[in-house]
Amino acid sequence: MKNQSKINKLLHSQPYGTIFTSGWMLRNGYSHALQQRYKESGWLVPIGNGASKRFGDEVSVEGALYTLQKQMELSVHIGGKSALAIMGRSHYLQMGKSRLVLFSRADEKLPKWFAEYDWEVTIDYNSSNFLEDEIGMVESNIQNFRVRISGEIRALLECLYLSSRDQNIIECYEILEGMSNLRPQLVQKLLEGCNSVKVKRLFLFMAEKAGHAWVKYLKQDCLDLGSGKRSIVPNGAYVKKYQITVPKELMKNGESI
């Protein structure tokens, strides 16, 4: 009866659709020997080294992310275009296999069981310290649990961070155009904690171009915008104020200013 009670307590300790890590179970009184017994009895099904799911449970990548955040206390979170899509901010539907953008601190690594498992999505994992931890984060309901994701302004800054790779700058601008009700205090805090000169200059240029009222409350003299020119795209239009080269489609008649 005692053993039955203990396995029941374990199986009900986490939301369905999530993972149990060996380390978390060990910290909560489930020895390696007991964990092995549960696997042999069919209660737990290994999905990789150090991670298991309930028998018969369907686990998604979001459920695994819940485990990374809640059990392993990692900073990894849904960000960029994926976070914007969750909040209904992404303009274009992705074609083909789904893609999930994740961000974490530069000193973190995804556990092997997560990195090697087939989650049936393409994982775009980015480890970077270009933004400060926790600022601009929100929690989102996914299935029957909650996970941390980037709030809309942090997610947009993450998109701009990836813009030199494959994130469409025009789409970033179109998304920012719809952000007329941002809190300037939060925008200011995120920009002050951002160490990417490219991201800060691009964001300020786009925000001014969009004509949002909250822009006038930003204190640019508190922001380190670096020095020298930044070529964001080749053969683009030059923005003199911010010394950046942007897609010509963002400039009226393609002219430089």
Q: Which residue has the higher pLDDT, 185 or 143?
A: 185
Coil, strand or helix: which one is 107? coil
Rounded distance between C-alpha atoms, residue 214 and residue 183, angstroms? 7
Coil, strand or helix: which one is 171? helix
Mean pLDDT of all residues in 148-166? 90
- Report the pLDDT value the prediction gives residue 249, as an integer from 0 to 100: 86
Rounded distance between C-alpha atoms, residue 132 and residue 195, angstroms? 9
Which tens digit of pLDDT belongs to each residue from 47-92? Answer: 999 999 999 999 999 999 999 999 999 999 999 999 999 998 765 5
pLDDT band at 98; cut points 50, 70, 90? confident
Q: Is 68 exposed, middle or buried (0-12, 13-18, 19+ CB in 10 A)?
A: buried
- Name the amino acid, one letter, at 154: R
pLDDT > 90: percent of the chain: 79
Instruction: Note the pTM of the prediction, 2 decimals.
Output: 0.91
- Report the pLDDT value the prediction gives residue 215, as an integer from 0 to 100: 96
Q: Return the percent helix, strand and coil in the chain, to nearest 5.
A: 40, 20, 40
Rounded distance between C-alpha atoms, residue 222 and residue 114, angstroms? 40
**What are the sequence ranges of the domains in the chain?**
2-54, 61-254
The conformation of residue 218, written as its DSSP 8-state character, comes to: -
Rounded distance between C-alpha atoms, residue 42 and residue 80, angstroms? 39
Helix residue ranges per DSSP H, 47-107: 61-70, 80-86
Rounded distance between C-alpha atoms, residue 198 and residue 159, angstroms? 12
Which tens digit of pLDDT belongs to each residue from 201-223? Answer: 999 999 999 999 999 999 999 99
Rounded distance between C-alpha atoms, residue 104 and residue 195, angstroms? 15
Rounded distance between C-alpha atoms, residue 198 and residue 206, angstroms? 12
Q: What is the mean pLDDT of the chain?
A: 91
C-alpha dist (Å) from residue 96 to 61, 85, 120, 208: 17, 16, 11, 35
Which tens digit of pLDDT belongs to each residue from 13-26? Answer: 999 999 999 999 99
Rounded distance between C-alpha atoms, residue 196 and residue 57, angstroms? 42
Coil, strand or helix: which one is 169? helix
Rounded distance between C-alpha atoms, residue 219 and residue 142, angstroms? 36
Mean pLDDT of all residues in 128-152? 95
The residue count of the chain comes to 257
Rounded distance between C-alpha atoms, residue 200 and residue 190, angstroms? 10
Q: Is the pLDDT of residue 225 over 60?
A: yes
